[in-house]
Structures are given as structure tokens and as C-alpha cells.
């Protein structure tokens, strides 16, 4: 299954990222590559059965702290 995931990412990466380099959009290509590699790593970890913690609680606490600080609560 790892091979299928890796091949799919290579094919999609070639289709998505190569035109950016070809059009001399280096910053966009670098950002796209970073996000792409991050998602590949997450996909391989999930395929391995590793549970990845949710970031929902941290985001909720950060937003409530930020919103609470603005409204003066």
C-alpha cells in the first residue's frame, strides 16, 4: 500500500508542481512542495496505523483566548 500512495503522490506532484517551476514561479512551487510533502508524510503515518492527535482542541482554546481578549471578558 505504501507503494501505491507514493506513486500516486509522485504522479500528482509532477502534474501540480512541475508547471510552477516551468513558469518560473519558484515561491509558489516551494510552498506547494512543502504542503505536498507534509500531506504525504501524514498519509504514510495514517497508513501505518499511527494515530495523529487532533489539533481541534488547541485551535479552539487559542480562538477563545483571542476572542475573549478582544471582547474584554
Instruction: Please name the residues in contact with 42: beta carbons below 8 A apart, sequence gap of 6 or more.
Output: 52
pLDDT of the residue at 35: 94
Is the model more confident about 12 or about 66?
Answer: 12
pLDDT of the residue at 59: 86
**What is the pLDDT of the chain when averaged over all its residues?**
88
Ramachandran sector of residue 25 (left: φ over 0; alpha: ψ -120 to 50; beta: rest): beta
Amino acid at each position: 500500500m505504501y507503494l501505491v500512495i507514493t506513486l500516486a503522490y509522485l504522479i500528482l506532484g509532477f502534474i501540480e508542481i512541475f508547471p510552477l517551476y516551468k513558469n518560473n514561479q519558484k515561491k509558489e512551487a516551494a510552498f506547494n512542495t512543502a504542503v505536498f510533502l507534509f500531506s504525504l508524510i501524514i498519509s504514510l503515518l495514517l497508513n501505518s496505523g499511527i494515530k495523529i492527535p487532533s489539533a481541534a482542541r488547541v485551535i479552539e482554546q487559542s480562538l477563545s483566548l483571542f476572542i475573549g481578549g478582544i471582547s474584554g471578558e
